[in-house]
């Protein structure tokens, strides 16, 4: 829908249903291009990017209606540009924001025109145009989808400056054309990535794209150890992914289907190949 908003649904929502709550309106400062979102359970906050205004917006966890952000990171010192994605580390209180060829790390409580705490940027990083990002504050990694080379770059969480990724998952066996959404499983040291198959936005073929799971230690041309993939999955162009470990479910949003799907996480675990 063309209207900028955050729609909030009950966990068990199913079918042609309206959201239970919506954050929308001129005071929200949302634009209709917020392609990432993080919920901060520890601080009960919602964090989204607004790349058209080069801003990061933070709302209360229970925000509703035309609610203004409680904090906004925006201004020349922020260096924000093309900030479509973000990740949150609520252990070290940091917001991680990839831009075109850099990863900017802000204090979680930053507000206004503030400079990043750290920047990962430079030719060694191999970064070009982030396609999703996640941080694991326990095992200290940042995983970022990359448009060129097409794959997943994994950095140390505290990396700074022009550093090479500690590993790159890329190659034909990975099945990666374009990633978009990421989630991490610190206990299992696993990374979940949504992977869009080549040309599906045009062909709209069901079942070619997938959700893949890799180990943190994977490097190079490594196939995912498990997938949600196939016509039964109904996925065409999966984007974001989020986990509910209490109920053993994974939520995947699909850009072409304009919908989100809930899958059994337990069933995915049963398909682990390694």
Partner 1 sequence: MGKTSREAAAEPQPSAPLGLRHRRTPTPSAYALGYRSHAASRLGLTPSACALGYFLAPLRGYNCSTMRIRKFFVISLLFLSGPAVLLLFSQLNGNLAPLRQVRDRFPVFADVAVDPESNIVAVTDENLFSLRTYDRDLATNDVADPRTVVTGNRTRVDFVCGVALDPVHKEIYTVNNDTAADMLVFKYDASGNVPASRTLRPAPVSTWGVAVDLKNDEVGVTVQQVNKVMIYRRLAEGEEKPLRVIQGPDTALADPHGIFIDAENNEIFVANHDSYHLAETSQEESTDVQGQLARGIATISVPQERFQPRASSGKFVEPSITVFSRTAQNNASPVRVVRGPKTELSLPMKVFVDTVHNEIFVANSGSNSILVFSRTASGDVAPIRKIEGAATKLKKPVGLFVDVKNDEVWATSPEEHSAVVFRRTAQGNAAPLRIVRGAPDGTPAPGIGNPGGIAYDPMREQILVPN
**Is residue 171 at the binding interface for partner 1, with CB under 8 A as the rule?**
no
Contact 233, 224 (CB under 8 A): no
Whether omega before 149 lies within 30 degrees of 0, making that bond cis, reads yes
Among 95, 96, 99, 155, binds partner 1 (CB under 8 A): 99
173 scored as a contact of partner 1 (CB under 8 A): no
Token pair, residue 32, equals 């209709």
Between 111 and 201, CB nearer to partner 1: 201
Q: Which residue in the set 70, 109, 161, 267 belongs to the binding site for partner 1 (CB under 8 A)?
A: 267
Q: CA 55 from chain center: how many Å?
A: 17
Q: Which residue's structure tokens are 């199913």? A: 14
* C-alpha separations of 171 from 25, 57, 254 in Å: 43, 35, 24
Rg (Cα) of the chain, in Å, rounded?
A: 18
Q: Which residues between 218 and 247 bind partner 1 (CB under 8 A)?
A: 226-234, 236, 239-244, 246
Supply 226's token pair.
Answer: 């498990």
Q: Which of 60, 92, 118, 129 binds partner 1 (CB under 8 A)?
A: 129
For residues 55 to 94, the per-residue mask of contacts with partner 1, x marking binding by CB under 8 A and - elsewhere, is x-----xx-----------xxxxxxxxx-x----------
**Does position 105 bind partner 1 by CB under 8 A?**
no
274 is an interface residue for partner 1 by CB under 8 A = no
Residue nearer to partner 1 on the CB measure, 168 or 256: 256
Question: Which residue has tokens 């649904």?
Answer: 9
Q: How many residues bind partner 1 (CB under 8 A)?
A: 126
């Amino acid at each position: 829908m063309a209207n900028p908003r955050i729609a909030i649904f009950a966990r068990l929502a199913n079918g042609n249903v309206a959201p239970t709550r919506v954050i929308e309106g001129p005071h929200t400062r949302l634009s209709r291009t917020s392609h990432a979102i993080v919920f901060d359970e520890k601080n009960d906050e919602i964090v989204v990017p607004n790349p058209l205004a080069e801003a990061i917006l933070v709302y209360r966890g229970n925000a509703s209606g035309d609610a203004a952000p409680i904090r906004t990171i925006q201004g020349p010192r922020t260096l924000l540009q093309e900030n479509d994605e973000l990740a949150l580390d609520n252990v070290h209180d940091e917001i991680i924001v990839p831009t075109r060829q850099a990863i900017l790390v802000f204090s979680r409580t930053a507000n206004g025109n503030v400079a990043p705490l750290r920047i990962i940027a430079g030719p060694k990083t191999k970064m070009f145009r982030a396609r999703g990002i996640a941080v694991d504050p326990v095992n200290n990694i940042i995983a970022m989808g990359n448009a060129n080379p097409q794959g997943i770059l994994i950095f140390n969480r505290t990396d700074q400056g022009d550093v090479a990724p500690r590993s790159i998952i890329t190659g034909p066996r990975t099945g990666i054309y374009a990633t978009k959404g990421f989630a991490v499983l610190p206990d299992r040291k696993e990374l979940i990535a949504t992977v869009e198959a080549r040309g599906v936005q045009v062909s709209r073929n069901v079942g070619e794209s997938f959700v893949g799971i890799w180990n943190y230690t994977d490097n190079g041309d490594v196939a995912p150890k498990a997938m949600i993939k196939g016509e039964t999955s109904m996925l065409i162009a999966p984007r974001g992914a989020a986990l509910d470990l209490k109920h053993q479910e994974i939520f995947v949003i699909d850009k072409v289907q304009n919908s989100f799907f809930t899958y059994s996480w337990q069933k995915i675990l049963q398909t682990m190949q390694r």
